[in-house]
Amino acid sequence: MTAADQRLPFARRSRRRPGRPGPSPRLPAAGLLAAGLLAAALAGCDDFPKDVENTTRSVEGSGVLHAGLVADAPAEAGERALAERIAAAAHARAESETGSAEVLLHRLEQGELDLVVGRFAKASPWKGRVAFTKPASAEGSPPKQAPVLRAAVRSGENRWLLFVSDTIGRTG
């Protein structure tokens, strides 16, 4: 112990004696164990993000996208085109039906539809019950109350939401 160490009561004193080996070789073994556990944990992340109801696998496996198009005569062509682009990206064909937003979003919530496309405001009263994508057009940020073309998916279908959002981002 040096003179400086003696003056500092909190100084760490070396317990190692001259001629003795250093720290135990357990640290590398613990590191290998941690790396193995991390690899095992990451192997389970293949399906992340997850779909609670497996919408992504269902659409890709069946080759059919069940889409609801909110009926709005002059704008319906935009909704249909967006649903068809999402279906094509999933290697599926779109089976579309039109109706009111209320009816279609309820059917989406029940799992009868995979997707609803329409003009929805960011502040939609359905926001807590279904998940909305960002607007399909890249025309800046619209006001929260302004209805813009976007898609809605079931809440909890995170992988499907990411897929639909990415598709809209690439094609919109």
What is the helix (H) or strand (E) element at residue 60, kind and residue range? helix 55-62
Reported in sequence order, the residue ranges of 1-147 that DSSP labels E, i.e. its strands, are 64-70, 93-99, 115-120, 130-132
pTM of this prediction exceeds 0.95: no
Q: Which one-letter DSSP state was computed for residue 22? A: -
Render the burial of 95-128: b for 16+ CB within 10 Å, e for the rest: ebebbebeebbbbbbeeebbbbbbbbbbebebee
> Domains in the chain, please, with CATH?
55-171 (3.40.190.10)
What is residue 42's predicted lDDT score, i.e. its pLDDT? 47
Residue 14: the pLDDT is 54
45: Cα within 13 Å, side-chain hemisphere = 5
pLDDT value of residue 5: 54
